[in-house]
Amino acid sequence: MTHDVTAPKIVAVHLNYRSRAEQRGRIPAHPSYFFKPASSLGETGGTIERPLGTELLAFEGEIALIIGTDVRRVSPDEGWAAVSGVTAANDFGLYDFRAADKGSNVRSKGGDGYTPLGPHVIAADRVDPAAIRVRTWVNGKLVQDDTSAGLLFPFGQIVADLSQMMTLHAGDIILTGTPAGSSVVAPGDTVEVEVDAPTAAGAPSSGRLSTRVVEGTTAFTDAGEKPKATDAQREAAWGSREAAGLTRDETFELTPDLRTKLDATAVATLSAALRKLGHVDIFIEGVKASRTGTKMYGLARTLRFIPFRPDLFASHGGGYNAQKQAFDSVQPGEVLVMEARGEPATGTVGDVLALRAQVRGAAGIVTDGGIRDFAEVASFEIPTFSQGAHPSVLGRRHVPWATDITIACGGAAVQPGDLIVGDDDGVIVIPPAVAHEVIDAAYEQERRDGWTAEQVANGERIEGLFPMNDEWKERYQAWLSQQ
């Protein structure tokens, strides 16, 4: 199959198979996209280079749509009618460049040969768009096997959605997402992808699209940010922590170095670093510090309240209940995080329990409910975050139910061992797997912003300085080398 490297557009869907979405732990409400350059196109029997010094080259077997006629603002039915053919595609990606791309996928997905297609095109009018199969083999072993019946967003919807904002031209290529099973390949491996329609007349097939992985020989220069593999990227590239060789029982530890960096880093800056890694629902919404100037960080210890019910309160609310157990067992440096269903008209902790946590050496208390004895609790050394004051005692809205489980606090998922950080801006949750990367990136951003603010205070103009152009970057690097 021959492709015109001047093809107007190659558009790829981020996440579109239910099997892949469930593997990733998130199901998008709408499709989202990225572009790949025409220079990334390749053919069957070709090679793909894993650049020197990288490790996370991943394959993604996909069904590629070929647009047959120019379309703009079409319906889903008209969208599928605009497709002239389908074929096999392999949407290769280099996860070592994911952080450097800041979400654009330009370098991670845009390398030469990173979009092989073919070898044959199946006419779209020969197949049912909901009954097209895609399979992938690595070194002869079947690793992906799914059909378009498992799509979150059908082909016609994708074409219709894209056509709302741009004209799709004849020859444009749309990569429609990959199912579960995508993983990492190494030099010497051969990846094959086939798209077919086994229930259609004649069972048409694209044939097997074969690509061999080779090792690059040229090192990256200092012209731009260099690739870097992190544990978070390893987990994403391999498909799971186990497949990446990362054990789930790893214990994240707040080392003195990390504590020093957290002391100098704001929650707002940490949240920006998390967002760059795709973590956006990490805010414990609605909670504020009991006193201004509060800084808190530590590993999560969790307590869950459930809605009040007389019989359940009778069995779980009295005696040495889960609430008392949590405050009696919280360890030094831990933050006790409570799920109170975002109900402010409750008192989920009072002065005695807060004092017990302080004596135990806890690093803080966070509840998405209320605090009773608020003024006294606020005067304690232990940082507290809540929805505010409320005088009610236990038993009005809640039953203390369980400790040390995954909870939802202020709309954020919190697991025991997560890193909890709070200041006057609020409280965020940092998964341990990305904590080192997030803290390092945020700390560096704080240093850069502090230096920038110093230049502004000295009378420098914002233009070219914020964000920095090449000249200011050189001056900043020179200053940094002297520190």
Q: What is the pLDDT of residue 455?
A: 85
Q: Answer yes or no: do 94 and 153 share one domain.
A: yes
- At residue 369's C-alpha, the angle toward residues 399 and 409, to 5°, is 90
Answer whether residue 248 shows pLDDT above 70.
no
The arithmetic mean of pLDDT across residues 100-125, rounded, is 91
Domain assignment present for residue 156? The answer is yes
The one-character DSSP state at 264 is: T
Q: Answer yes or no: do 382 and 450 share one domain.
A: no
Contact by Cβ (8 Å): 286, 387: yes
Domain assignment present for residue 5? The answer is no
**Complete DSSP assignment for 384-433:** EEES-B--PPTTSSEEEEEESS-EEETTEEE-TT-EEEEETTEEEEE-HH
Q: Which domain holds residue 157?
A: 10-238
Domain end among 392, 413, 430: 430
Cα 197 from chain centroid (whole Å): 33
Q: What is the pLDDT of residue 322?
A: 87
Closest alpha carbon to 33 in 16, 47, 50, 58: 16
Least confident of 29-43, 109-123, 241-255, 266-280: 241-255
Which residues, 6+ apart, have CB-to-CB distance to 482 below 8 Å? Answer: none
CA atoms in the 13 A half-sphere facing the CB of 65: 29
Confidence of residue 3 (pLDDT cuts 50, 70, 90): very low
Q: Answer yes or no: do 145 and 212 share one domain.
A: yes
Least confident of 12-26, 47-61, 72-86, 168-182: 12-26
Q: Answer yes or no: do 177 and 128 share one domain.
A: yes
CA atoms in the 13 A half-sphere facing the CB of 87: 27
What confidence tens digit (pLDDT) does each residue in 22-47 have? 877 678 889 999 999 999 999 889 99
The arithmetic mean of pLDDT across residues 217-223, rounded, is 90
Contact by Cβ (8 Å): 447, 440: no
Answer whether residue 99 shows pLDDT above 70.
yes
Q: Answer yes or no: do 291 and 255 share one domain.
A: no
How far CA 469 is from CA of 109, 202, 226, 244, in Å, comes to 26, 59, 19, 38
Domain end among 430, 446, 464: 430
The overall average pLDDT reported for the chain is 91
Contact by Cβ (8 Å): 97, 227: yes
pTM of the model: 0.58
Using the CB atoms, write b or e for 384-414: b if 16+ within 10 Å.
Answer: bbbbebbeeebeebbbbbbbbeebebbebeb
Residues above pLDDT 90, as percent of the chain: 70
What confidence tens digit (pLDDT) does each residue in 389-422 have? 999 888 788 899 988 889 999 999 999 999 999 9
What confidence tens digit (pLDDT) does each residue in 165-201 have? 999 999 999 999 999 999 999 999 999 999 999 999 9
Domain assignment present for residue 144? The answer is yes
Q: What is the pLDDT of residue 2?
A: 47
Max CA separation in the chain (angstroms)? 79
Q: What is the pLDDT of residue 395?
A: 78
Q: Answer yes or no: do 289 and 270 share one domain.
A: no
Q: Answer yes or no: do 44 and 151 share one domain.
A: yes
Domain assignment present for residue 245? The answer is no
Torsions phi, psi for 18 (to 5 deg): -60, -40
Domain assignment present for residue 1? The answer is no
Least confident of 86-95, 114-123, 375-384, 455-464: 455-464
Q: Answer yes or no: do 161 and 302 share one domain.
A: no
Q: What is the pLDDT of residue 25?
A: 65
The three-class DSSP label of residue 312 is: helix
Q: What is the pLDDT of residue 251?
A: 67
Q: Answer yes or no: do 87 and 72 share one domain.
A: yes
Residues above pLDDT 70, as percent of the chain: 97
Q: Answer yes or no: do 78 and 181 share one domain.
A: yes
CB atoms within 10 A of CB 304: 25
- How many domains is the chain built from? 3
Q: Answer yes or no: do 49 and 168 share one domain.
A: yes
Q: Answer yes or no: do 185 and 267 share one domain.
A: no
Domain assignment present for residue 437? The answer is yes
